[in-house]
Structure formats: structure tokens, C-alpha cells
Amino acid sequence: MTTTQPVRIDVDVVIVGSGFGALAAAQKLAGTDLGVLVVSKTTEHLFQPLLYQVATGVLAPGEIAPPIRSILGRHKNIDVRLGEVIDVDADAKTVTYRWGDARTVVGYRYLVAATGASQSYFGHPEFAENTFALKTIDDALTLRDHILANFELAHALPSSAERDELLSFVVVGAGATGVELAGQIRELARRYFDSGSGGIPADDVRVVLVDGAPDVLPVYGGKLSEYTARTLRRAGVDVRTAAVVTAVDDEGVELHADGRAARIPARTVVWSAGVEASGFAGVLAAATGCAQDRAGRLLVGDDLTVGGHADVFAIGDMTSLGGLPGQSPVAMQQGRHAACIIAGKTARGTAFRYLDKGSMATIDRFHAVASVGPVKLTGVVAWMMWLAVHLLYLVGFRNRYVAVLSWFGSFVGKNRPHFHLAVPGAQVAEPAESVEVSA
């Protein structure tokens, strides 16, 4: 194999990643006299909070993952490159990225890192072998194929232990993703597969939501967590809190709760219980001397700089700052803050201040929770707010229009417009390890 010599280019700003924080920073720098290079391992800007709707056939992948080039391409001062950053020299102010056998060295004046997070298994990496992650489009499509294939196989079987396992789904992690996915799998059972003659009775489908915390949606707590658990149970979800997963194999999970062990037979286990910083966080930490927490997140300065380097910023899920949540609004505001400092609109060293505009999570059709300052909302009102806010965050008029049609068909009607095998004739999919996701 021949190895080509690295190509050298120089720009004003390098942004690593293509998620919410990276996109916000790039858009803030658009139209300035600064040359900006965006380097991403993926070609799309992923709306990760809606991945569970791809996995359950509500939305198509393209509706939540438009190409990053189509978003930034009209800005003459921004270039987008596909590649993985493998080295940073903070003293020489260069990054090196690769795509295939080619390597490119990029000199920069400022560096913004926004590579997000990957799945965490809390010291049990072996759990990845028998669980499904939900961090990338490929993860969502793999899970969608698996769910559909399980239902179809179960439909052809008489009552048996095998059929019960095929129709059993365990979701580990009762944060927003876990709650939303568990709710949608029950929706599939009640409103899609149970419709019409010859369907699979909804009562035959078992969905178990497991979390080690004492409450579902623990970041909300109180009334909203209680409403969420109550709504899930009413929909048929078996909610088990204060329960720790101790083992996972291809036929189920083992739990420990209340001093007792229990086993849940299931062919589908989805892991949404935790995250850790992407691998690039370690590369940047080594290059800048920045400390990391137990989850590998960079302990950035108040102004989002890394390791005391005034020209290196890190934002989003790969960082830890003042207990801020790993949510897209935080990453977006951090991206704009870093960009304003770089563009000279904000003084160097200015501390980042997060404006909390509230948070929300959907449970199932017509049920959601929302927290906006002192106001706590539940039910249809919160659900309509959730739809409106997520529609606003989708990029592009066409994606918003198509999403509305898909939501109408799925939530008002009983259709699942995108619930089909990604590969026709595919068999039951095997769980695949999660890959890191730009954010």
C-alpha cells in the first residue's frame, strides 16, 4: 500500500464535528472575513433526539440528517471536509485529519472541538455485544430492521417461549431517549401491529424500561417524573426503577433490584443508559494538557477554552462545565459563544452563561412533559409544545413539511410511513456496537 505525503493547508478556524454545537459555531462565523474549515467523520448534520422515531418508522433518515454541505455550502467562507481528526499540535497550531489513505495537515488560528459523545456501558464494554445503541443513523436503521423482523417472525409462530422472547423489548436507561423509545414500541404494538384481523395482540408485546435511578426522567423529578411513570405504565410499559443491569446475553438481561436478582428473557435490549466523551476528547486532552472527568469529558475553562489555550475551544457533550446538561441547546449556545469570541464580538476570557429555555420529553401519542422555568406542563399541551419546538429545530423547509406529514400519519392515523426493512429480505439483525457520533 502506498502512503501519500500529507497535504498542508491553512485556515483561520477549524471546527471539528457536525452536530448542533459545530453547526451553530459555523453559522455564527458565516459571512465573516474568517476562513472556516469544518471537518466531520460523517456527511450529515444529525438531529439525534429524533433517532428513536427513525427506529420506529415514524420518520425517514433524511428528515433528521440533512447533508452538512447543503446547510453550509452557500457560505463562501466555509469549507466542509469529510475526515477524522487524528492529531492535534496545540503549540504548532495544526490538526491532522485523514480520509482513507490521504492525510491533511491544517494550520489554524482557532480550533473549535465539538465531537460529542459515544455510548457508555459503565465499566461493562461487553454489554455492547448484545445490545442495540441509538447514537447514529446506522444504529437507528439496524434497530428498525430488527424490531420489524422480530414482529414478522413472531407473527408466523404459535404461542411459545421463542415467540415471547421475540416480542419482548428491554430498554435500559429511563432518560428522554429511553422513555420515548419505550413509548413508541408500545405504540407500534397497540396501534400498528394490533390493527386489523390477524394482527399481533398488543398484550402479547412486552416492553420493559429499566433504570438504576429511583425515578424515570430523573433530571425532571417530582411531578413530571411521576406523571411519566404513570403514563408509561398505563400504556403497558413495565417500568423498573432502582434496578441495575448485571448481565446481558443474546436471550435477555439480568437485573438486581431490592436485594434480589431477576432475569428478563428478550431478543431485543436497547442501551440508552449513559454517555462518555468521544475519543477525540482524549486526543485534545493529550495535546493541551486539559484534565478530563471520569466520563472522559474535558474540564474546560469558564470561557470554553481548553487547557489554558486561548485559541482552542471545546463545546457540547465532550465537555464538563458547571453541571450543564448534555443537551443540544447547551451545545448550540456554547458554539455561538466561542464563535463570538473568535470573531471579536465578545471579549476574550468572557465566561459562558447558559440561558435555560426549558426542556421537554415526549412519552407517547398526546403525552409529554415540559419544564419551562417554574412552569411544569404535562399531557396534550406539553406534547404540542414538543412537536412545535422539534419542528423548529429541524433544518430546511422540506424536512419540516415532510415531518409534519409523517407525524400526522403516525400520531393521528395508524400508519408508520417508514417502517420497512432497510435491506429487503434482511433477517433478524444482530446488535452492533455503537460508533462515535459527531455532535
The pLDDT tens digits for 52-63 are: 999 999 999 988
Q: pLDDT averaged over the chain?
A: 91
Domain architecture of the chain: domains with CATH: 7-41+83-119+275-342 (3.50.50.60), 125-273+358-412 (3.50.50.100)
pLDDT band at 195 (very low <50, low <70, confident <90, very high): low
- Grouping H, G, I as helix, E, B as strand and the rest as coil, residue 234 is helix
Q: Which three cell numbers stand for residue 416?
A: 408508520
Cβ atoms 271, 133 nearer than 8 A = yes
- What distances in angstroms separate CA 420 from CA 19, 24, 36, 59, 256, one per listed residue? 27, 33, 40, 11, 36
Q: How large is the average pLDDT for residues 236-264?
A: 95
Cell matching residue 261: 436478582
- 433 compared with 283, residue with greater pLDDT: 283
CB–CB of 291/314 below 8 Å? Answer: no
Q: Can you state the angle between helices 176-188 and 137-155, rounded to 10 degrees?
A: 30
How far is C-alpha 61 from the geometric centre of its chain's CA atoms?
13
Q: How far is CA 9 from the centre of its chain?
A: 32
pLDDT at 439 over 60: no
DSSP 3-60: -PPPEEEE-SEEEE--SHHHHHHHHHHTTSSS-EEEEESSSB---GGGHHHHHTTSS-
Q: What average pLDDT does this structure show over 267-292?
A: 95
| % of the chain with per-residue pLDDT over 90 | 79
Q: What is the pTM of this model?
A: 0.90
| Model confidence at 423: pLDDT above 60 | no
Three-state DSSP class for 283? helix
In order, the DSSP letters of 311-376 are EEEE-GGGEE-TT--S-HHHHHHHHHHHHHHHTTSS-TTPPP------EEEEEETTEEEEEETTEE
Count of residues making up the chain: 439
Active-site residue list: 180
User: Average pLDDT for residues 240-269, to the nearest whole number?
Assistant: 95
Interval 350-407: pLDDT, tens:
999 999 989 999 999 999 999 998 999 999 999 999 999 888 878 776 778 888 888 8
Which residues does 167 contact at the CB level (< 8 Å), separation at least 6?
150, 151, 154, 200, 204, 205, 206
Q: What is the mean pLDDT of residues 157-180?
A: 96
pLDDT tens digits along 82-98 = 999 999 999 999 999 99
Helix or strand run (H / E) with residue 253: strand 252-257
C-alpha cell at 34: 474568517
Q: Is 56 left (phi over 0), alpha (psi -120 to 50) or beta?
A: alpha
Contact indicator for 140, 51 with CB cutoff of 8 Å: yes
Q: Write out pLDDT tens, residues 19-78.
A: 999 999 999 999 999 999 999 999 999 999 999 999 999 999 988 999 999 999 999 999
What integer is the mean pLDDT of 213-229? 95
Q: How much is the pLDDT for 94? A: 98
- Residue found under cell 398484550: 203
Banded model confidence at residue 413, pLDDT cuts 50, 70, 90: confident
SS3 content of the chain, % helix, strand, coil (to 5): 35, 25, 40
Angstrom distance (rounded) from CA 299 to CA 349:
16
Q: How far is CA 413 from CA 361, 365, 416, in A?
A: 21, 11, 9
The phi, psi pair for 53, rounded to 5°, reads -75, -25
**Continuous segment of H or E residues that includes residue 213:** none
- What per-residue confidence (pLDDT) applies to 422? 60
Residue 434 predicted with pLDDT over 70: no
Between 248 and 408, the higher pLDDT residue: 248
